[in-house]
Every structure is written in structure tokens, then in C-alpha cells.
Chain A
Amino acid sequence: MEYILIIIAAVFVSNIVLNQFLGICPFIGVSSKVETAIGMTGAVTFVMVIATLVTYLIYYSVLVPLDIVYMRTITFILVIASLVQLVEIILKKISPPLYQALGIFLPLITTNCAVLGVAVLAVQKDFSLLESTVYAIGNAIGFGLALITFSGIREQLDLLKVPKRMKGVPIAFIVAGLMALAFMGFAGIV
């Protein structure tokens, strides 16, 4: 039951993008088409879940016992960067068309603050290994939900008459604000 609550909280109540402000760069940058949004979500989910798992293990089995917790930022980001490289290599081998489709978005996952953010939060919240993994999965779903919904709206927005100065990024932010407002309605269900 606990795990279901973790997921609901991560997806709706404290949505990683609309409430915690993590993953904004891809949120704005990759959301002009639903297709690319879906591809990005898949890649991010993979990296986020594995990264959280690996960094969690390293934190508790190496950093804490050796009292070098201050190395957390460096080790975590190195794990993420390596994982992204690994994903690129694996994807190139087993599915070249998918690799082509994702293109430049793959290396960009390294700088996705949501991935590093979730890894750090999982450790800060004193979760167990299983709870951290569930938390990561939940946040990946939340990221995907926000990103894909947003890109759907943006695709429609392109067809509407928007004041010239607001076209593109400004109106996107206003819409994001309204989405965030809507998500605030989930507050209190957990």
C-alpha cells in the first residue's frame, strides 16, 4: 500500500515538473511534438530508475561508510553521465532506428535535473532500496505525464492565434502555469 502512495504522490501531488521544478529544460525544449516527447520519456525513465538504484547503492555502501558524503554530487553525476553513455551504446547496437529518432536528446538526459534530483531526493528521504526504486518509477511516470500532456497542448497551440510577442516560449510558460494550477488540485489526496 505504501508503494502505491509513493507512486501517486510522485505522479500527481508532487509532480516532478509542475510542482518540484525539475526537468524544466527538456519540458520546454522537447515538447513541441508529442512523438519526441514520448521518446524522451522512455529514455528518461530508463536512466532515472537505474541511476537512482545505482547511486543509492553507492551512497550507502561506499560514501557513508567511508565518511566521504561530500563526494555525493561528483559520484552521482558521474554515474548518470556513464549510464547515459551506456544507453547510447546499447541503443546503437540493438535498435539503430530508435537511436536515430532520439538523436541529440540522449546526451541531454545527463543535464536533466530531474534525474539527478530524484537520485538525491531518494537518499534524502531515507527510503529503502525498494522504496527508492518505486519512487524513481513514479517520478518517471510523472515526468512523462507532464511532458506528453504539455506537448499535446503545444501542438494545438501552434494552430491558434497567439499575440505575436507571446508566441513560442512565453505562451508555453503560461500554459505550464495553468497545468501546474490544475495539478495543485491533487493536493491532499495522499
Chain B
Amino acid sequence: MELLWKVKKPSDMNQWKNFSKGFIKENAVFALFLGLCPTLGVTTSAVNGLGMGLATTFVLVMSNLVVSLVKNFIPDKVRIPAFIVIIATFVTVVELVMKGYVPALFDALGLFIPLIVVNCLVLGRAEAFASKNTIWSSLVDGAGMGLGFTMALTVLGAVRELLGSGAFFGMKLISGDGMLLFILPPGAFIALGYLIVLANMIKEKTS
């Protein structure tokens, strides 16, 4: 009964603020420093970053939705393991679907797809937000944080691809190689370091 009421009544939360916080102010990568493993690991190209971001967003939205739905039925002491199983389920769904329909992207993202389950962003939102808010707010939060994460990954991927292979979303702009360093591990760290500085500067200017 209580659950139904929560679905129908519009939340007191400003949903636009809820949605947009994930883009700059509370960006998973640039502000909260969550989900860093895939951020560094798959951003050798813009497309890979985009694919990873979207896959993670799907898991985030679905798990936020389900966690918010069942939050009143799960005993407090087992909530973390329960959330993990819920998240792991959607991660596996993503794994299977990608393997069957976008195998090239699946191969490119490799190990990092199952690792979405330990992406601190996903578990973090489930625990910090979805388990305490309405279904609709949780959905919006998941979408906003997820898309903000996607944006960060795509930007980093585009930067590394541009500097490292001289290409933009797969289209080569120069012949031969660029500064290879950027598609290798050191370049990932360095590029991200500078992007965080840039993000901080943008944050300062817009607040």
C-alpha cells in the first residue's frame, strides 16, 4: 500500500537537479572519483568509452530501480549482499546481450564488463540513494549519474584516441600513429589527471 502511494505521488525532489548533478557537480569520475578502473582501462577510443558508459548506465538505472522497489523488504543486515546480487544479475544480462548482438564491442571491453558489478558508482548509488528514495527519483538519479559517467568516459576516450591514434570516433585524421603514449597505460593516467583539472576549472566557473 505504502509502496503504491510512493509511486503515484510526485516526489518533493527537484528532478532536474537530481538528473543533472551527475554531469558536472557530482560527476562520478571527475568529482566523486568512482568507477576509475573502467575509466582508465577501456578509454583507448571514444567508441569504447561510450559503449562502456552506456552498459554501466543500463546496469545503474535497472539496479537503482529494483533496489528502490524492494528496499522495504530486505532486512538491513543483508542489504549489501542483496544489492550485489541484484547488480550482478543486470551485469550478466548486459554481458549476454552484448556477446550476442555487439560482439566486437564485447571483445574490446573484455574483462571490464563483468567488473561493472564492482564499479563503486553502481553499488554506491544503490546504497546511498536508491535504498532511501522513491522509485522515480532513483531512476532519475541512475540515469543522470550514468549519463554523466558515460560523458566522462567518452571524453577521455576521445582525447586519448585523438592524441594517441590521430583518429576521432574511428575516423583517422592523420596517417600513421599519433603520440602512442596516450593509448598506453601511462597516457591514461596522465590524460585523466589533466581532465580532472579541467573539470575542476569548469566547476569553479559555473558555481
Contacts and interface: CB of A to CB of B under 8 A. Distances in A.
Task: Report whether chain A binds chain B.
Answer: yes
Interface string A167-186: 00111111011101100100
- Indicate the size class of the contact surface on chain B: 35 or more
Interface in A10-31: 18-25, 28-29
A169 B151 CA distance: 20
Given A28-B36, A174-B193, A21 B188 contact: yes
Contact of B188 (A25, A77, A107, A177): A177
Interface in B152-207: 181, 184-190, 192-194, 196-197, 200-201
A170 B85 contact: no
Interface of A: 18-25, 28-29, 70-74, 77-78, 81-82, 107, 110-113, 115-117, 120-121, 124, 165-166, 169-174, 176-178, 180-181, 184
A48 to B, nearest CB: 13
Contact of A20 (B41, B96, B119, B194): B41
A111 B38 CA distance: 13
B91 interface: yes
B69 to A, nearest CB: 19
B interface: dominant SS? helix
B193 A81 contact: no
Interface in B45-73: none
21 contacts: A19-B185, A21-B37, A21-B185, A24-B39, A71-B92, A73-B92, A77-B84, A77-B117, A81-B81, A111-B118, A116-B115, A120-B111, A170-B194, A170-B197, A173-B189, A174-B190, A176-B189, A177-B187, A178-B186, A180-B188, A184-B184
Contacts of A78: 81, 84-85, 88
Contact of A177 (B36, B89, B190, B197): B190
B80 interface: yes
Contacts of B190: 173-174, 177
Contacts of A28: 33, 36
Contacts of A71: 92
Contacts of B196: 169-170, 173
A73 B201 CA distance: 39
Contacts of B118: 77, 110-113, 115-116
A22 B41 CA distance: 8
B108 interface: no
Residue from B34, B118, B181, B184 having most chain A Cβ neighbours under 10 A: B118
A73 B41 contact: no
